[in-house]
Amino acid sequence: MGEEKKIKYADVIIDISHEALDRVFQYRVPFSLWEKVETGSCVIVPFGRTNRKRKGYVIALKDQPDYDDQKIKDLDSIDETGLPVERQLIKVAAFLRRQYGGSMSQALRTVMPVRSKVKPRMEGWIDLVLTREEAGPLLKVWEKKHYKARARLLKRLLEEGRVSKSAAVKECGLPLKEIRRLEDKGIWTLTEKIAWRDPFPGLARETRPIVLNEDQERILQDYWDKRKKGQRGVHLLHGVTGSGKTEVYLALIEEVLAAGQQAIVLIPEISLTYQTVRRFYERFGGKIAVIHSRMSKGERYDATERIIRGEADLVIGARSALFAPVKNLGMIIIDEEHDGAYKSETTPKYHARETAIFRAGLAGADLVLGSATPLVETYARALTGEYGLWTLARRAGGALLPESQIVDLREEFKQGNRSIFSQELKAKMVDRLEKKEKIMLFLNRRGYAGFVSCRSCGQVVTCPHCDVSMTYHRDGSLRCHYCGYETPFHKICSVCGSPHVAAFGLGTEKVEAALFREFPGARVLRMDTDTTRKKNAYREILDTFSKGEADILLGTQMIVKGHDFPDVTLVGVLAADLSLFGSDFRSGERTFQLLCQAAGRAGRGDRRGEVVIQTYSPDHYAVKAAAKQSYEDFFREEYSFRRLMNYPPCAHMMMLLIQSDDQETAGLAVGRVEKMIRQSQDKETDPVQLLNPGPARVGKIRDQYRQVVYMKHRDPERLIDLKERLEPVLESHPLFGGILFQFDFDPMSLN
Ligand code: ADP
Ligand code: ZN
Ligand code: ZN
């Protein structure tokens, strides 16, 4: 075949630590290893001048050497005994790079745990070795000799039996060196162990025995049947809010841990961690490691260390917890799988679901996707049988789904109601306040108001660095939510000089002010990105509300997710339209999700809940289906829309974002890229479709001009192939110097 003449080269990283990821060494692969070596292989290589044998990992294989072939050494051998988890993670990195673009080093950084050099916190205590008979006289001697610190410690040991290291050092005043020296003399012992930082101080384990209901039991049975037959795969757990999905996760995890394996549970964002994690903690206690973005370096270090040492069997966290270095992965659970937070915003812009499918496949583990409102893509795959489908159609406690009502805001306006609250909603709020039942109000917006514009000339105040309007805040400032730019609010228009510049729109602060006006005496809690900036603010607000110390919880998206407040009997959605207006093909889906989730907060206790949806689009299918809590209605309409428009899941999309600090450069680049793509598609009978390349919807962010190219095709591999051919050209072509290219496969929102 002539193949023997070809040579293979392997890029190897020697040490998998974050700092060393960029140091790649190239080796020649001896012919005998050609069949065996692959990306992720652990290999033994000669290293340095002395050719000392070192262990490394193959991150890429090439046909051509990048250096002088004479200077390249041969690989020694393949080490099959290496930690499988590291091989797995390197393969995951290779998957991320290929599917979502970017460099291998970016991909490796994404999957490798940051093992920053944090010292573990030690916990220590001192026990007496001497008998009381021996210690008594010694104490007298020390006191006589004025060894005060030593004597203090010995006295305490005699009184208390055991003294903590910190008390010995700080309270008795004996330096650690002395403690150790006297330990060597056989007077006492100092025992130390790592004190893991407790991410959930004050939580206790609790064994609340829950007997699964018939529907839940059937799911576990199916899991077992499949497992026995050796069938592992992806399962969609579709269950309305409160149907007992979390209990199913807990039961499944118990099976996985009992089989000696580990599980990873992903939760969309920190907003969810507290309440949800509490339930996992109560069931599994110290076996849990939690990973989220707001934890301190020390907490993160501890969590990662405990996973690596096998002390934690259950990892719970946001998106990146997917890469937790667990050794024997048995299951990944993605709760609220439809959530947008599962898509990374930085390169590689991976989706946690697709990546989890890949990782679970490598590990031979199951993947469970749970949601009341699965993404259309996910549900479609479950209908075709690609995923297993588990359904929980009823609320677990027997509580009824809430009764929903749609209020047409145009009618309210016609009838002269200028309030934020419709007659209907207001009447129900008065009723609940009287009955001392709780209310949640949901608004898909933050800040005091939306954009600011001149009523005379229509000029909208925009951020000088981004192509977006500034947002008015009650403290009198205008802020850009893209880059953080802040400026004082001026009533005088900079274009026409009119003194009628004003803020429009509705924000949580404005609703809060209206609540104080229209419901004096009601205790209101506001929860949005502004009030939850501090580390525990989120938890404090929720605690206050669940303790019954407030009547109304007002908030943005973050209040609709997964919180269980049994005495909430009324949920008001103040304006269901704001999410419909995004000009993107997922806006109907997002609106449906938000409305269902919001509605799901009502009536989780023994009283039936009510939902009032205020909207300017009462006839939109997403609003109507949400009011009925009918996923099937929504899916039918949405799927036929996607099929008609050839949007995912009926086709896949690849986005290429082109950024430059120079407007003209960005514009020229998009034209050139378009031409390159069209030329490369010349001979294709079934070419990749291009959707008007041009400026992004937000044409400038942080002074970077942005152009986008969307590519569409039924076959995802065609898009990935195209990217693989395009990427190296874009990176090395002299015409494209200083331009940033970013790919995104199956983007969650259009730019
Ligand atoms: P979901 O995750 O689908 O929103 P949960 O698992 O949180 O649902 O369940 C909703 C409520 O019903 C919780 O308070 C839970 O403790 C309770 N629950 C779930 N399953 C059962 C069961 N089999 N028996 C009794 N209560 C249950
Ligand atoms: Zn003006
Ligand atoms: Zn800005």
For 481-497, the pLDDT digits (tens) are 777 889 898 888 888 88
Local confidence band at 1 (pLDDT 50, 70, 90 cut-offs): very low
Three-state SS annotation for 434-457: HHCCEEEEECCCCCCCCEEEECCC
**Best mutation site among 214, 220, 247 for ligand 1, i.e. most ligand atoms within 8 A of its Cβ?**
247
Whole-number Å distance between alpha carbons of 507 and 503? 11
CA of 703 to the centre of ligand 3 (A): 8
Whether 262 and 326 have beta carbons less than 8 Å apart is answered as: yes
Query: Residue range 91-103: average pLDDT?
Result: 90
Nearest CA to ligand 1 atom 4: 242
β-partners of residue 9 are 28, 62
Ligand nearest to the backbone CA of 460 = 2
Instruction: Report helix, strand or coil for 7.
Output: coil
User: Over 80: is that where the pLDDT of 400 sits?
Assistant: no
Query: Residue range 515-520: average pLDDT?
Result: 93
Whether 325 and 113 have beta carbons less than 8 Å apart is answered as: yes
Nearest CA to ligand 1 atom 9: 244
So what's the pLDDT on residue 334? Answer: 96
Taking only the tens place, the pLDDT of each residue in 256-297 is: 999 999 999 998 865 455 667 778 888 888 788 888 776 777
Local confidence band at 722 (pLDDT 50, 70, 90 cut-offs): very high
CA of 5 to the centre of ligand 3 (A): 57
User: Over 50: is that where the pLDDT of 91 sits?
Assistant: yes
Query: Residue range 508-518: average pLDDT?
Result: 89
DSSP string spanning 524-584? Answer: EEEESTTTT-STTHHHHHHHHHHTT--SEEEESGGGGSS---TTEEEEEES-TTTTT-SSS
Query: Residue range 563-578: average pLDDT?
Result: 81
Question: Can you read off the two tokens belonging to residue 720?
Answer: 């990935």
So what's the pLDDT on residue 449? Answer: 47
CA of 707 to the centre of ligand 2 (A): 30
Query: Residue range 680-691: average pLDDT?
Result: 88
Query: Residue range 134-142: average pLDDT?
Result: 92
Cβ < 5 A residues, ion ligand 2: 454, 456-457, 459, 493, 495-496, 498
| Strand duo 122-128 + 162-164: pairing | antiparallel
Atom of ligand 1 nearest to the CA of 248: 6
Q: Is the dihedral of CA 162, 168, 174, 175 positive or negative?
A: positive
Local confidence band at 446 (pLDDT 50, 70, 90 cut-offs): very low
Whole-number Å distance between alpha carbons of 748 and 376? 12
653 to 137, 370, 487: CA distances (angstroms): 83, 24, 38
User: Over 70: is that where the pLDDT of 404 sits?
Assistant: yes
CA of 550 to the centre of ligand 1 (A): 25
Question: Can you read off the two tokens belonging to residue 46?
Answer: 């000669």
Q: Report DSSP state, residue 19.
A: G
Q: Which residues contact 91 (CB under 8 A, 6 or more apart)?
A: 39, 40, 362
Ligand nearest to the backbone CA of 482 = 3
So what's the pLDDT on residue 505? Answer: 64
So what's the pLDDT on residue 28? Answer: 92
Whether 697 and 583 have beta carbons less than 8 Å apart is answered as: yes
Ligand 1 pocket, Cβ-based, cut-off 6 angstroms: 210-213, 216, 239, 241-247, 396-397, 564
Whole-number Å distance between alpha carbons of 570 and 572? 7
What type of residue is 226?
Answer: K
Mean pLDDT is lowest, of 168-172, 351-355, 446-450, for 446-450
Whole-number Å distance between alpha carbons of 630 and 625? 5
So what's the pLDDT on residue 661? Answer: 93
Whole-number Å distance between alpha carbons of 623 and 378? 21
CA of 578 to the centre of ligand 2 (A): 26
Whole-number Å distance between alpha carbons of 180 and 169? 11
Atom of ligand 1 nearest to the CA of 212: 23
Nearest to 288 by CA among 259, 265, 318, 260: 265
Nearest to 322 by CA among 276, 358, 297, 348: 358
Q: What percent of the chain has pLDDT over 70?
A: 89
CA of 498 to the centre of ligand 2 (A): 5
Whole-number Å distance between alpha carbons of 693 and 686? 19
Atom of ligand 1 nearest to the CA of 211: 23
So what's the pLDDT on residue 102? Answer: 86
Taking only the tens place, the pLDDT of each residue in 596-631 is: 888 888 876 677 889 999 988 888 899 999 998 899
Taking only the tens place, the pLDDT of each residue in 725-743 is: 998 888 888 888 889 999 9
User: Over 50: is that where the pLDDT of 2 sits?
Assistant: no
What type of residue is 24?
Answer: V
Nearest CA to ligand 1 atom 26: 397
So what's the pLDDT on residue 634? Answer: 96
Ordered domains of the chain (ranges, CATH)? 9-111 (3.40.1440.60), 122-194 (no CATH), 214-398 (3.40.50.300), 403-447+507-644 (3.40.50.300), 652-745 (3.30.70.600)
Ligand nearest to the backbone CA of 479 = 3
Phi, psi at 500, each rounded to 5° = -110, 40
Atom of ligand 1 nearest to the CA of 239: 3
Q: Which residues contact 730 (CB under 8 A, 6 or more apart)?
A: 673, 736, 739, 741
Ligand nearest to the backbone CA of 702 = 3
Taking only the tens place, the pLDDT of each residue in 231-254 is: 899 999 999 888 999 999 999 999
So what's the pLDDT on residue 181? Answer: 92
Higher pLDDT, 42 or 625: 625
Mean pLDDT is lowest, of 213-227, 551-565, 720-734, for 551-565
